[in-house]
Amino acid sequence: MIPLLIDVKNKNVLIVGGGKIALRRLLLFLEEGALVTVVSPVAVPEIIELSNLNQINWLEKKVDITDLQHAFIIIAATNDSKINEWIAENVSENQLVNVVSSAEKGNVTVPKSVKKGRLTLAVSTNGASPRLASQICNQLSNQFDDRFIKELDQLYENRVIKKNNM
C-alpha cells in the first residue's frame, strides 16, 4: 500500500455499521464534504442525530448488495467480521473498501490523521495497532505550533502568486 490523500468532496461514501468506529470514520468523511450514507439496523445516538439534521443518509436496515453499487468508498464497520468480509468480497474492482475488523481484507486503510491548517499528518501501523498509530500521530502533531502553521500558509500563498505570474 502507498500513502495517498484523496479528495472525497461530493463523493458517495458508504459506512456499513452504526457503532462508535463507524461514527469516527463517518465524521472524518463528513468533515471533508463527502456524501455519507450509513446502513445499519441500529446506530449510536450521534449517527441518529446527524441523520435527523439531514447531514447524512441513514438506512435503518441490514446491508444488501444494492447498497454497495454506487459508493466510491465503502467502510465495513459492523461488529460482525463475516458481514465485513462479505462486503469486501462483493465490491467492484474499482471501489475502495476499508474493513475495520480485518485491514488485509480491504484495499485501503484509513490512517490516524491530524490536520493543522494546510498540514496533514497521517500515521498507519497497517492494522497492527490503531491505538499506537493515534499516539504517534498526536506526538508528531505537537511538534508544529501556530507559528509553523502560519509560515506554511505563507509558503502556500507565495506558491500561488508565483504560479499565477507564470
For residue 92, the model assigns a pLDDT of: 93
Specify whether domain 12-105 bears CATH 3.30.70.2190: no
Give the contacts of 5 (CB within 8 A, at least 6 positions apart): 120, 122
Domain map (residue ranges) of the chain: 12-105, 112-164
pLDDT in tens, 40-89: 999 999 999 999 999 999 999 999 999 999 999 999 999 999 999 999 99
pLDDT in tens, 103-151: 889 999 889 999 998 999 999 988 788 899 999 999 999 999 999 999 9
pLDDT higher than threshold 90 for residue 165: no
- Residue with cell string 502556500: 156
For residue 3, the model assigns a pLDDT of: 84
Look up the pTM and report it: 0.88
CB atoms within 10 A of CB 150: 11
- Band of pLDDT at residue 8, cut at 50, 70 and 90: very high
For residue 121, the model assigns a pLDDT of: 92
23 in helix, strand or coil?
helix
pLDDT higher than threshold 80 for residue 166: no
> Which neighbouring-strand residues pair with 69?
none
